[in-house]
Amino acid sequence: MRFQRFAFAAMSFACTAAMAAEPITPPWGKESNLGEKMMMEATSVCTDGKGHYVALTPDDEDINAVLYYGNEKQLVQVPHPGPYTSPTSFLDPRFFNKGANPNFRGIDWRVMSSVEIDRKERTCALTCGEKKIPLTMLDGEPASELLRKATFLPNPQKFAPYALLRDTKGAYYFVDRGFHEAEKKNYRVFIGPRGNLKAQKMTNVISDSEGEIFSTRRGDLRLLLDKAKPALWIENKKRRLELRQVPVEENLPLIYNELGVYEGARLGTPCDDQ
């Protein structure tokens, strides 16, 4: 039987959080050749006039367009949500568009936002849920100067939702894990009523073919891979509480806007300052 056990030291996020993000290299590198220079000069930069900027690289035969957001000093990479989406679309559940398609090719477009950039007409606009913000495209030299001076960084998100459960009294049990690939074995558990979930002191994580157990000083949260069976919260090895699993993907607005876990967190999207 496949069995994995992760010691608490391995899953602790303390060291990760303390480390400053290392700069990343933009697609045009150091403009060391004509191709890189053309890539940088073809990158569109738009602003809201309030010190916030979005930058979109051109499509290339080998490199898909990349979207960045930030200010004149730092630009962070905006995560691409996956197949069947344009490079200008991004996930931001803090903003909800109730009129959008809830399931188009497996994507809930109600929690998607986007930047609209028309390179030919030189127009830009930002859409955050149902809110639309006009942007202005910078001319060539000011755009190039900003791109040369800015530091490019990976997306600042530390954690992403993993599991959500609820007991019969309305208390939520929430699990998230590291956002970036190298940190996906870093887990956290939060418990409490809506808007006031508290982080639990983690002690261990066990994962095998039957499911997962997230151990905290207060108790164990047991998730089963068989969704037909109830998850369990076990406290002091005596008190066993059955929990109802709440689908994460269908409840992203609840998780980001109402649980309180991500209150004030920046997602590294153009909607961060809206």
2-11, 134-143, 155-164: segment of lowest average pLDDT: 2-11
Region 241-264 average pLDDT: 96
Residue 216: partners with Cβ closer than 8 Å, 6 or more residues away: 189, 200, 201, 202, 203
Closest C-alpha to 71, from 90, 55, 52, 85 = 52
Mean pLDDT, range 134-162, rounded to an integer: 97
242 and 171 Cβ atoms separated by less than 8 Å:
no
At which residue do the structure tokens 């990158």 appear? 43
pLDDT in tens, 188-209: 999 999 999 999 999 999 988 8
State the Cα–Cα distance between residues 153 and 26, nearest whole angstrom: 9
- Map out the domains of the chain as residue ranges: 3-15+158-257, 22-153
**What mean pLDDT value characterizes the chain?**
90
Q: Which residues pair with 212 in a beta bridge?
A: 207, 223
Question: Would you say residue 187 has pLDDT above 60?
Answer: yes
Mean pLDDT of 47-62: 88
pLDDT, position 129: 97
State pTM to two decimals.
Answer: 0.88
